[in-house]
Amino acid sequence: MRFKRRGETDRLQQLAGKLEAAAKKDEEQKLEAQGVYLLRARAATELHRKCMELVEAVNRLLPAPLLELSPAECSPEMFRDAEPTIFQIGFSGRLVHLEFHSTETLRSTERFRTPYILEGSIRAFNQELLELAAVPEQFLFCCPENDRLKWMWFDPRIQRAALLDQNHLIALLERLL
């Protein structure tokens, strides 16, 4: 009998240890998920700021503002993890449409070789392109690197990837003219 009782005590101790380890792991995962959510919210805000800087820079050079960014404002509190986020730079029926959403897992490498936390697409189109059903699309990824967030675009037609910067946004707008 003594052997059996000691075995039960050992099993109980092992179970308690496993439960404690599982609770610790769950808490770590919860903290990581919260951290990634905050990174995603910051990334959305940074991308909006990048778009706003372009719109404001171009509009300063014009007698009357022509470019508009929708939505006009973006803050981390406005970000919704479960919903797609859309930014549009528009003028006279021409649009640069940036749409992105959270990855299914906290980080992914499924569609891009660098780990990313947000994915989506960039489309630049006008009425002519819509009528031709020829709206070019580039993939968009937010890749965290240390404390920095890099927005990257990837064009599957030419197999090229680069940082999404003001020059790329300018090139997309130029194609619509």
User: Each residue of 47-70: pLDDT tens digit?
Assistant: 999 999 999 999 999 999 999 999
User: Each residue of 27-48: pLDDT tens digit?
Assistant: 888 888 898 999 999 999 999 9
State yes or no: pLDDT of 150 exceeds 50: yes
For the segment 62-88, the average pLDDT, to the nearest whole number, is 94
Q: For position 151, what pLDDT does the model report?
A: 97
Q: What percent of the chain has pLDDT over 90?
A: 67
The helix/strand/coil state of 32 is: helix
What is the reported pTM? 0.84
How large is the C-alpha radius of gyration of the chain? 23
Q: For position 1, what pLDDT does the model report?
A: 44
State yes or no: pLDDT of 123 exceeds 80: yes
- Write the CB contacts of 44 (distance below 8 Å, at least 6 apart in sequence): 74, 76, 78, 79, 85, 100, 118
For the segment 84-105, the average pLDDT, to the nearest whole number, is 95
State yes or no: pLDDT of 98 exceeds 60: yes
